[in-house]
Structure 1
Amino acid sequence: MEDEKRLGIVGIFVEDLEQADGVNDVIHESSSIVVARMGIPYKEREVSVISLLVDGTADEINALTGSLGRIPSVSVKSMLRKDK
């Protein structure tokens, strides 16, 4: 079913730290599906890495990753747990 909640992981690379506020805004807008967040500034590579544990419908997770992916200098990938 499309409305069933799914557990997933979202990985985000922020190449331009000036985009960090936009990334945070998008994550905040989807806070109802974000279970946990870990952010690591990797100065040697000049990138920030954010990982999210999400629990929501496929549509909600896709909306989050789509919004993040439209931000310049931001790369995002997601992985959803298979249904049993």
Structure 2
Amino acid sequence: MSTNQLEQHDMRRSGVVGISISDAVGMTTKITEILESSHGIIKNVTMFPASKERVMAVIIRATTDELGALTGRLGMVPGVRVKSVLF
């Protein structure tokens, strides 16, 4: 690892990204593609079916920049709401 990569690795924190999907049938594939492109920071993904929407909990280990990039892409998907927290 380069010095810059080591510094970024040290700045990573654990967190959770909550995703609410109102059009689960049409958007699940797009969300899966986005999550797969960020596989380096994702530790676990759990989906909870709800009555009118689906809710996903994504456990991550990321920097604030990595988290912002992921949530920004997810938030642009129609019918998707995203909330996140780093510890």
Q: TM-score range by the shorter chain?
A: 0.7 to 0.9
Q: Which runs of 4+ in 1 moved over 2 A?
A: none
| Aligned CA-pair RMSD | 1.2
TM (norm. structure 2) is: 0.85
Q: Give the aligned residue type for 2:31.
A: V
Rounded Cα–Cα distance in structure 1 between residues aligned with 2:34 and 2:20: 14
What stretches of structure 1 of length at least 5 have no aligned partner?
none
Return the offset for 1:68: 0.2
SS in 1 for 2:29: helix
Number of paired residues? Answer: 78
Cα shift readout 1:39-64 (whole Å, capped 9, x = no counterpart): 0121x2x1010001100111111100
How do 1:32-71 residues align onto structure 2 when only pairs under 5 Å count?
32-42=40-50, 44=51, 46-71=52-77
Rounded Cα–Cα distance in structure 2 between residues aligned with 1:16 and 1:23: 11
Rounded Cα–Cα distance in structure 2 between residues aligned with 1:80 and 1:60: 11
Q: Higher strand proportion, which one?
A: 1
Aligned to 1:22: 30
Percent identity between matched residues is: 33
Say whether residues 1:5 and 2:12 are aligned partners.
yes
Q: Higher helix proportion, which one?
A: 2
Q: Which has the larger Rg?
A: 2
